């Protein structure tokens, strides 16, 4: 498969997420369905978070990028953020997620915490799903008032998992 970049800009509206899911899945389905589903899940979770947590004024645009190079897949979602406290919480969660050696335990612990604290508001469960159900690694960048949440995975690990060579 050739290198490519797919970019899509949209207003914080749930209707656009299905388009991104379909396009992401379509890009990889002919190579391996499991990998395509995994990549679709990551794209969907990151875009859903951007819609939930970004400013919802009429001028706000969320940017989605899907990049495939010879050795890597990168999904980036850029959005205006609402409150600095949300950014600090996101940083904490991503740092915790990236440090874990037990993603299943981290995910189940988060589920139990949410059951016990039903009125927590922001669950961040999508980020925990990404680390538990996929091989993508998360990172973030803050550029002015723009938050970029990035998920990357090596294609070498796809081959090691017996997926079709991309």
Domains of the chain plus CATH, in order, are 4-160 (3.30.565.10)
Digit-coded pLDDT (tens) for 113-138: 888 887 766 667 888 899 889 989 99
Average pLDDT over residues 37-49: 94
Sheet holding 137-143, edge to edge: 4-10, 62-68, 72-80, 146-154, 137-143
**pLDDT band for position 42 (50/70/90)?**
very high
State the pLDDT at residue 111: 86
State the pLDDT at residue 38: 94
Residues, the chain: 166
Rounded to two decimals, the pTM is 0.84
State the pLDDT at residue 157: 54
Q: Tell me what the pLDDT averaged over the chain comes to.
A: 85
State the pLDDT at residue 82: 64
State the pLDDT at residue 57: 64
Give the least confident one: 42-46, 53-57, 92-96, 157-161: 157-161
- d(CA 163, CA 161) in angstroms, rounded, equals 6
- Give the DSSP H or E segment for 84: helix 84-99
Please indicate whether residue 158 or residue 36 has the higher confidence score (pLDDT): 36
**pLDDT band for position 163 (50/70/90)?**
very low
Indicate if the pLDDT at residue 56 is higher than 70: no
């Amino acid at each position: 498969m050739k290198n490519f970049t797919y970019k899509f800009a949209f207003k914080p509206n749930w209707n656009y997420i299905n388009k991104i899911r379909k396009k992401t899945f379509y890009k990889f389905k002919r190579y391996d369905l499991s990998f395509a589903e995994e990549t679709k899940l990551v794209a969907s979770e990151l875009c859903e978070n951007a819609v939930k947590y970004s400013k919802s004024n009429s001028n706000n645009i969320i940017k989605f990028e899907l990049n495939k190079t010879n050795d890597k897949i990168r999904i980036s979602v850029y959005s205006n953020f609402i409150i600095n406290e949300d950014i600090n919480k996101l940083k904490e969660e991503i740092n915790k997620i990236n440090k874990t050696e037990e993603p299943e335990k981290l995910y189940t612990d988060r589920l139990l915490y949410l059951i016990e604290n039903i009125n927590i508001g922001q669950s961040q469960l999508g980020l925990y799903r990404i680390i538990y159900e996929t091989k993508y690694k998360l990172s973030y960048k803050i550029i002015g008032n723009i938050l970029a949440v990035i998920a990357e995975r090596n294609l070498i690990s796809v081959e090691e998992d017996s997926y079709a060579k991309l």
